[in-house]
Structure formats: C-alpha cells, structure tokens
Amino acid sequence: MRERQHQQIARWERIWLAFSGLMTVMFILLIAYNLATEGGHIAQRTAKASPEQILAQDVFANPGVRALAPGRVQASMVARAFSFQPQDVRVPVGSEVTFYLTASDVQHGFQIERTNVNVQLIPGEIARLVYTFDQPGSYRVTCNEYCGIGHHDMLGTVTVVPASQWSAPARAAAAAADDDPDAGPDGATVYATHCASCHQANGRGVAGAFPPVAGHMAELTREQGRAYVAQMMLYGVQGPIEVEGTTYSGVMPAWSQLSDAELAAVTNHALTGFEGYEADDVEPYAPDEFAEQRGLGLSAADVLERRNE
C-alpha cells in the first residue's frame, strides 16, 4: 500500500515536472516568435561610469535631437524625478533614430506608447537603442518605474513629423559634403553616416560605451601602426580595450563593406576633422593601405590579439 502510494506521488510529480518544463519551452518559443515577427529592441547597456561622468558629456549635457546623416538622427534624453529632459523631441518619419538615454538620480522607465520601445534607465548606465517611426504623430513617453511622489506626472512626447517639416538642428556636417564630386568620397559624410551614432558627431565617443576617435586615431597609428588601423577598420575589434584611462568592452563592427577609398577618407577624417584634435604629424592614409589588408579573413577577436601583442 505504502509502496503504491509512493509511486502515485512520483507519477504526479513527473506530470507536474513535464508540465512546467513544457511551459518553459513555450515561453522561450513565444519570445523567439516575438523577436522574429516584431523585431528586438533590446537596449545595449555597455556603459558603466559614475552618473556625473555620464551626464557631463556632450550627448547628455546638451540633450535633444541632432542630425547625423540623411535618414539618421540621434535623440538623447535624461530622466530625472519627475521629468524627461527635453520633454519633447521631434524626429522625422522613416528615419533611423538612435536613442541615448540615462537617468540622473534614481531608476526610471522609458516607454513609448504604440511601439515596443520600453527600457529601464539606471543612473550610471546608458541605454542605447535604435527605432524607426513609420507613422507620423505624437507618441507619449511614460516613466513606468515607480520613482517617487511625482512618478505619475513623468511624461514626455516624441513627435514624429513628415521629413519635409523637419528641420535638422545640425545638418551642417551632412550638407557641407557634396561640393566636388571628383574629389572621391568625403570622410565627414562617411563618418556621419556610419560612425557618428556611436562615436558621436564631435568624435569624442561616449565615456564607458564608445571610445573617442578624435585624438585616439592618431595615437593608434603611432602606437599600433598603420596596418593595424587598416585591419581594425576592415575587421572590427572585439573585447576589452583601454582608451584614455577608460575601459571599453564593446564590439566595433567590421566595415569591409565600405570601399578602400571610403575607409581611407573616414580614417583621415578621424585624424584631422575634429577641432582641437588635428594630428598634423600623421601622414594621411591611402586607399592602397586598406586594399593590402583585405582578404586576410581576420575576426574582430584576432584584431584585439594583434593590438595586445
């Protein structure tokens, strides 16, 4: 009798175990289904620095919207009890918007209605995410983490306007580009299109998240050599690196889809295009230097190894 009872319990236990296992599998499948159909907007949290350090840099000291290149804008906002700064941002419809978000005091939330943008903002961390608004309109932003007595009043808006009604606060860089079509690719344009959303329009990066290129490109050329710089551009770098006393553990993607001429132009822009960081002692890169390093089949991790050698 006791033996039978024991087996009974074991049988029910087995059923429950199978049931909970099945639920786990179902939840994972639902997440996978959602990612496949709705797309993932998981914010990167690469930055870890003091809140003061994060708030002092340009992207958060002067938050708001700026144009990076045609079809690309950047929007930065700071959450503090009990408001977003700025409260309202205007972005053009159909443009890729890179949000840079942080909290200055306590933990806040950032949720944009009618989208799947929903992130936690933590002091000392930067949330970066990319979203494209397909429909014009006014989208309410709410803080969805209880942050104190005024939490329910913590609202903002993202206003999405037709591109024709949107004026870029800083379109100068992109507009200045197309003067001489025979001069080859323009480094500033290549930079604005592919690099500025991480390394920032001023080339100073975001401390703790994306290393500076202004000043640093010249240093890399002197210390690691020109071949290394070409490899870094072509294959990317992955793993922890230290720049100006700050450790970065992100991934720089490979840019081999750019032409040799574009790579040379953008590298030269990093050397001489940022005020106060011009490296006149470094010879400009030539497209051949990139051509020579193509086809080596290196990985981003291989490039880091060469850097550490």
Interface residue list for ligand CUA (CB under 6 A)? 79, 82, 108, 143, 145-147, 151, 154
In angstroms, what is the minimal distance from the CB of 141 to ligand CUA? 11
Minimum CB distance to ligand CUA, residue 146 (Å)? 6
Give the shortest CB-128-to-ligand CUA separation in angstroms.
Answer: 19
Give the SS3 label for residue 130: strand
Residue 124, number of CB atoms within 10 A of its CB: 17
Q: Shortest gap between Cβ of 107 and ligand CUA (angstroms)?
A: 8
Is-contact 105 80, C-beta < 8 A?
yes
Nearer to ligand CUA, 103 or 192 (CB): 103
- Looking at the Cβ atoms of 48 and 151, the one nearer to ligand CUA is 151
| Shortest separation between residue 143's beta carbon and ligand CUA, angstroms | 3
CA distances from 155 to 84, 88, 283 (A): 7, 9, 51
Judge residue 166's burial from the number of C-beta atoms within 10 Å of its C-beta, 0-12 exposed, 13-18 middle, 19 or more buried: buried
CA distance 256 to 140: 39
Q: Which is nearer to ligand CUA, 151 or 307 (CB)?
A: 151
CB of 51 to ligand CUA, least distance (A): 15
- In degrees and rounded to multiples of 5, residue 297 shows phi and psi of 65, 35
Secondary structure of the chain: what % helix, strand, coil (to 5)?
40, 25, 40
Main-chain dihedrals φ then ψ at residue 278, nearest 5 degrees:
-65, 130
Closer to ligand CUA by CB, 147 or 214: give it.
Answer: 147
- Cβ neighbors of 261 (< 8 A, separation 6 or more) are 184, 185, 287
Q: Which is nearer to ligand CUA, 108 or 194 (CB)?
A: 108
Of residues 142 and 202, the one with the C-beta less far from ligand CUA: 142
